[in-house]
Structure formats: structure tokens, C-alpha cells
């Protein structure tokens, strides 16, 4: 009884934080299943390694974006040019 | 291709040297009656007969129709009718520009016998200026490959060395123009597909600002990144085609209404003294091989001698830009192809199928974030230019690799090989900026390389100004593949 209580106190209620891959092969399998596209053997691992690396990198940047940022190509550039003209 | 080639060889070849003229030069010669359009066309057909078996540039040749059109141009000139700025000049285009009633394969098995019901705005504009269309050019399957390999129609090969790749996806366009089979060709550029084959084949390749040229009735790959542009041998030729192609189009809501510049005048101006050119050593020079680096330094020196001020710039995180670009293209291309990936996956080549499948694993969240970050990344790049008129950068890390070493098909290392080939061009599509390959010179004997001029949004004229001045002192087009 004593040892069980001791074990409970050292075991955290949630798993410790660890690196989560941007894309795991089971997740990829699920997305292919949803799209109705045949996933060939070994492909999930390759996609996880290549696209996953790009996604992991980009998500770091995406988290820093302002809440109000809207999609678009040149709006920031054009507004800068407009400011310059006003000045 | 065999039957038409034999038929052409049997024709009496016109003086072959007129096929070596520049596009604008040829157009002027026809307009002034110094040469007939028929003679130009026959000269091109003779070049095609000689080069097609070596480089596999054409998927379909329409020799009889082109000759008929050429004769009509010659008759019109005799009557004193206006011929247009491209009157009687033979061109040919990547097989992804639709022409009503004609088959457009898009380099694929899936669309092998598909007939278009409308004509691309880009083709309509060239037609309206009197250009002739000699046929359909080879390309990477669905424009989604940077090497020039095509497992359905045969690989295109580099006229400078047929063991080497043309680059892609505008592989046939580059091979045909470099081998002097036609005077110019349309390509498309989503991640480097005009600039990179232009680099490997010694050509001028213009990727305009996103939205500068209408994409109506051109095969889409990635709406946010696709651009339409020309491959030519000379800067003036590219400028002429761009003046004709650029501008608003009611058929393409993304085509910009910004005024079109005087590109030909800019290309011929030679006025570059005092311009500021920024050189981003970080990222762009990281993997450059020694002969290429030496050639580019010589080009910078030549520009400096012309009075261009060369300054260093520190670009923003280009690895991040590349990652964002990969998210965007993967998602958009997969969305377009999802239906065929479900129903006809076996009709794709291994390389293209594998690349398209990537996009099925991109979430809506990541895709939207790649759109949200875009303007910020572009603004950061323009800020890093620090008032420079344009950026000077390599197009690729080396001259053309061999067909064999890049034949990765669907193998696991394919992703890395492809990413390495496009790492210097792909980020610029994400930024939406105009960028142009200018032939710099030759390395390792006779392998051409180019440099990339990157400009501000809709400032293609600046790129033509610098490129034209460089070409005047370094006329690489005078050297021919043999």
C-alpha cells in the first residue's frame, strides 16, 4: 500500500511534454483515407519525413503571426507604398 | 514524331542560318520583306528535323498548318496589310496552353487525348500579333517536375549536352529555343519552371510578377504561385513577348490592371549607370559550386564596369520561405488532382504521383497560414533590398546535371533531389516577385549557366534594363549548341 502511494505521487497525471512530429504516419493514413486515395506501403513514412519537416518549420513561424493578419500577396507592400506617398 | 520528321527532311531546306536570328530580328526581317515567313518556317522545320531526334522537344508538330499560315502572312505583306509585331515568326509552346479543338496533353497520360474547348489568353495575344504556332512542346507531367524527365513521352534532353537535363518543367520549350528550332516559346513557372531550364540551356527566361500575365485557359498547378512567361535567346525578344502577353484580362480575375511597362525600350536602353544591385550571399551562395561562383563573380564585375553599384544584402529566412512555399504548392496541387488520385492513380508517373500525394497531408490550417504569412515575407524581402533596384542571385547551384543522376522517379530520395534543384527559385514564387534568368556564360567547356535578377512587384522593366545592358557586353546567344 505504501509503495503504491509512492508510485502515484511520482507519476504525473499527464504525459511529459515531448517532441510531437508535425505529421505522424497514422495521421497521414487517416488523411489519405478521408480523401479516398490509396496510400501505398512506405509512403506515409516518406511524407512524414519530407513534408513533415517543412510543416514543423513553418508552424513555428505561423505561431508568431498577428491575430489580424489576412491572406494576400502584396497588401503589406502596397500599404507601405501608400504611407510613403502620403508622407 | 518519326513520320513528320522524315517528311520535313525531304523538304528542300531553306537557308538554315535564318533560324539563328533573334525573334525580334526575324519579325523585323519579315515586316521589311528581307525574308519571307515561309523561309523562316522552313528553316525552323529543317532545324527540327535535325534536332528533334536528339532532344525530344516536340510532342506534336504541325508543320503543314504552320507553312500554310506562313504563306498567308507573305501574301498579306505583299498586299501591304499590317502583320502584327510577331508577323510570320514561328513559335511553339509548352503543351499546357489550351487551343480550342486541339489536344493538350499537359505532358500526362491522363490527358493524352483530351481536347480543349477554349484558347488560352496568352495564345490569343500571340496569335493576334501574327505569330505562327509550330506545335506542342514537351514538359514535365502536369508541370510538376524540375528535371525534364517525362515517363510518358520520353525525357527532353539538353541541346548543349544531350546526356544532361534541360531542367523543367518547361523542358521542351527550353530545348526547342536553345536548339534554334523555334524563335521563342511559352513556359510556365510555379517554382522555377521557366528560370531553371533557361539557366541549364543558356536562355533568357522571364517569370513575371504573379498576376502580370493572364493564366486563362492555361493548365493550373498552384493558383497562388503559377505564372506564365516566355523563354527566348535574347533579352529584347523576351521583352517583346512580355509586352504582348502582359496586362489585364477579364477571363482571369487575378490578372493585374497595373499598367504594362515599355519592356523593349528598357531592354535596349543600356542606361544602368547608378543603379543599385543587391547580392544576397546568405542562402543563395551556400551551396554554389566553384565554377558557377566564378562565372557569377565575373558577371557581377561586368555589371560593375557598366556603372551598376553592387551592394550586399541579408535576405530574410529563405528556408522558411521555402517551407511555406512547399505547404502552399502541395495543398493546391493536391486539391486539383484529388479526383484523379482517387480514380486513376496508376496513370501518373511515380515522381509526380508521389509529389501530388504530399498535399493530401496538409491541413486547412497550415494552408491558410501559408497564405497569411505571404505578404509579410514579401515585405521582409523588399525591406532587405534596402532601396536596391533589383537583386542578383544564382538560379541553381551548378550547371545541368545528367539525366541519369536526376532520374529519381518515386524513390525516397526524390524529394531531396527535387528540393535541391529548385531551392533558389521556389521561394521567389512564394514572394510573388518578378524574376528573370539571364545567361551569364559557360562553365566546364560548353555548359551554360545564368543568373537571376529579382525585382520589385510589377517592375519587370527594371529587370529588362539590367539584363539588356549585360547582354550587350556578354552576348552569349552568339554561341550555338552543336
pLDDT single digits (tens) A39-70: 999 999 989 988 888 899 899 889 889 888 88
Residue B360: list chain A partners with CB under 8 A: 28, 31-32, 35, 37
Closest CA to B140 of B153, B131, B129: B153
> The pTM is what?
0.92
Closest CA to A80 of B320, B280, B385, B262: B385
Q: How far is A18 from chain B (nearest CA, A)?
A: 21
pLDDT score for B15? 47
B316 touches chain A (CB under 8 A): no
- Inter-chain residue contact A73 with B338, CB threshold 8 Å: no
- Inter-chain residue contact B366 with A58, CB threshold 8 Å: yes
Which of A24, A27, A58 is the best mutation test for B, with the most CBs of B within 10 A? A58
A82 touches chain B (CB under 8 A): no
CA angle B138, B142, B145 (to 5 degrees): 80
In this predicted structure, the answer to whether residue B150 has a pLDDT above a threshold of 50 is yes
Per-window interface: B 358-387 vs A, CB < 8 A: 358, 360-362, 366, 368-376, 378-379, 382
Could you read off the pLDDT of B44-77 as tens digits, one per residue? 999 999 999 999 999 999 999 999 999 999 999 9
pLDDT score for A81? 57
**Which of A79 and B381 is assigned the larger pLDDT?**
B381
Q: Which residue from B minimizes the CA distance to A70? A: B372
pLDDT score for B11? 44
Grid coordinates given for A45: 513514412
**Which of B15 and A36 is assigned the larger pLDDT?**
A36
CA angle B171, B238, B289 (to 5 degrees): 55
pLDDT over 90 for what percent of chain A?
Answer: 31
**Using 50, 70 and 90 to split pLDDT, how confident is the model at B6?**
very low
Mean pLDDT estimate for chain B: 94
pLDDT score for A80? 56
Q: Which of B37, B105, B108, B169 is catalytic?
A: B169
B324 touches chain A (CB under 8 A): yes
d(CA A70, CA A75): 9
- Inter-chain residue contact B382 with A77, CB threshold 8 Å: yes
**Using 50, 70 and 90 to split pLDDT, how confident is the model at B403?**
very high
User: Measured in Å, how far apart are chain B's first and last C-alpha atoms?
Assistant: 22
Residue B375: list chain A partners with CB under 8 A: 72-77
B188 as an active site residue: the answer is no
pLDDT score for B8? 41
pLDDT score for B108? 98
B115 as an active site residue: the answer is no
Considering only the beta carbons, identify the residue of A36, A53, A58 that sits closest to B370.
A58
pLDDT score for B441? 97
Mean pLDDT estimate for chain A: 76
d(CA B93, CA B177): 10
B268 as an active site residue: the answer is no
pLDDT score for B416? 76
pLDDT score for B468? 98
pLDDT score for B352? 93
Calculate mean pLDDT across residues B461-471.
Answer: 98
In this predicted structure, the answer to whether residue B413 has a pLDDT above a threshold of 80 is no
Could you read off the pLDDT of B78-116 as tens digits, one per residue? 999 999 999 999 999 999 999 999 999 999 999 999 999
- Inter-chain residue contact A73 with B210, CB threshold 8 Å: yes
Interface confidence, given as ipTM, is 0.81
pLDDT score for B417? 77
Calculate mean pLDDT across residues B143-170.
Answer: 96
CATH of the domain spanning B26-477: 3.90.1300.10
- Inter-chain residue contact B358 with A65, CB threshold 8 Å: no
B390-394 vs B447-454, strand pairing mode: antiparallel
CB atoms within 10 A of CB B110: 16
Closest CA to B457 of B411, B390, B365: B390
Grid coordinates given for B315: 535576405
- Inter-chain residue contact A77 with B368, CB threshold 8 Å: no
Amino acid at each position: 500500500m505504501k509503495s503504491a502511494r509512492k508510485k502515484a505521487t511520482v507519476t504525473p497525471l499527464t504525459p511529459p511534454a515531448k517532441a510531437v512530429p508535425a505529421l505522424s504516419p497514422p495521421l497521414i493514413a487517416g488523411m489519405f483515407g478521408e480523401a479516398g486515395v490509396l496510400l501505398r506501403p512506405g509512403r506515409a513514412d516518406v511524407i512524414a519525413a519530407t513534408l513533415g519537416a517543412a510543416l514543423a518549420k513553418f508552424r513555428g513561424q505561423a505561431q508568431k503571426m498577428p491575430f489580424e493578419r489576412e491572406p494576400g500577396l502584396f497588401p503589406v507592400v502596397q500599404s507601405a507604398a501608400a504611407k510613403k506617398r502620403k508622407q | 514524331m518519326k513520320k513528320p520528321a522524315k517528311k520535313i527532311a525531304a523538304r528542300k531546306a531553306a537557308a538554315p542560318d535564318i533560324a539563328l536570328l533573334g525573334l525580334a530580328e526575324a519579325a523585323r526581317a519579315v515586316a521589311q520583306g528581307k525574308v519571307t515567313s515561309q523561309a523562316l518556317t522552313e528553316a525552323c522545320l529543317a532545324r527540327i528535323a535535325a534536332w528533334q531526334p536528339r532532344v525530344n522537344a516536340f510532342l506534336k508538330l504541325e508543320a503543314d498548318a504552320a507553312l500554310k499560315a506562313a504563306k498567308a502572312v507573305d501574301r498579306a505583306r505583299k498586299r501591304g496589310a499590317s502583320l502584327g509585331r510577331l508577323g510570320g515568326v514561328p513559335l511553339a509552346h509548352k503543351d499546357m496552353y489550351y487551343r480550342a479543338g486541339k489536344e493538350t496533353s499537359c505532358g500526362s497520360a491522363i490527358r493524352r487525348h483530351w481536347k480543349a474547348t477554349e484558347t488560352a489568353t496568352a495564345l490569343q495575344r500571340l496569335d493576334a500579333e501574327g505569330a505562327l504556332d509550330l506545335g506542342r512542346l514537351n514538359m514535365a507531367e502536369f508541370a510538376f517536375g524540375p528535371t525534364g524527365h517525362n515517363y510518358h513521352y520520353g525525357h527532353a534532353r539538353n541541346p548543349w549536352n544531350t546526356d544532361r537535363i534541360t531542367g523543367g518543367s518547361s523542358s521542351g520549350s527550353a530545348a526547342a529555343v536553345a536548339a534554334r528550332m523555334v524563335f521563342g516559346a511559352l513556359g510556365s513557372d510555379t517554382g522555377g519552371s521557366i528560370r531553371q531550364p533557361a539557366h541549364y540551356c543558356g536562355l533568357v527566361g522571364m517569370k513575371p510578377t504573379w498576376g502580370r500575365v493572364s493564366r486563362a485557359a492555361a493548365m493550373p498547378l498552384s493558383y497562388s504561385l503559377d505564372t506564365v512567361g516566355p523563354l527566348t535567346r535574347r533579352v529584347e525578344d523576351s521583352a517583346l513577348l512580355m509586352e504582348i502577353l502582359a496586362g489585364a484580362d477579364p477571363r482571369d480575375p487575378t490578372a493585374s490592371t497595373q499598367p504594362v511597362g515599355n519592356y523593349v525600350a528598357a531592354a535596349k536602353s543600356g542606361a544602368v549607370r547608378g543603379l543599385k544591385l543587391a547580392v544576397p550571399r546568405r542562402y543563395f551562395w551556400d551551396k554554389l559550386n566553384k565554377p558557377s561562383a566564378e562565372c557569377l563573380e565575373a558577371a557581377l564585375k561586368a555589371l560593375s564596369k557598366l556603372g551598376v553599384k553592387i551592394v550586399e544584402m541579408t535576405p530574410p529566412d529563405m528556408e522558411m520561405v521555402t517551407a511555406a512555399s512547399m505547404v502552399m504548392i502541395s495543398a493546391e496541387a493536391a486539391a486539383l488532382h484529388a479526383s484523379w488520385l482517387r480514380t486513376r492513380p496508376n496513370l501518373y508517373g511515380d515522381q509526380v504521383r508521389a509529389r501530388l500525394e504530399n498535399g493530401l497531408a496538409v491541413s486547412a490550417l497550415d494552408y491558410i497560414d501559408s497564405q497569411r504569412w505571404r505578404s509579410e515575407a514579401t515585405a521582409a524581402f523588399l525591406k532587405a533590398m534596402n532601396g536596391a533596384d533589383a537583386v542578383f542571385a544564382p538560379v541553381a547551384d551548378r550547371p545541368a546535371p545528367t539525366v541519369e543522376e536526376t532520374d529519381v522517379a518515386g524513390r525516397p530520395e526524390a524529394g531531396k533531389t527535387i528540393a535541391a534543384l529548385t531551392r533558389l527559385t521556389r521561394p521567389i514564387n512564394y514572394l510573388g516577385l518578378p524574376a528573370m534568368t539571364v545567361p551569364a556564360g559557360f562553365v566546364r567547356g560548353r555548359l551554360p549557366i545564368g543568373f537571376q535578377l529579382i525585382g520589385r512587384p510589377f517592375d519587370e522593366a527594371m529587370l529588362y534594363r539590367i539584363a539588356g545592358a549585360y547582354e550587350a557586353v556578354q552576348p552569349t546567344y552568339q554561341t550555338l549548341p552543336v
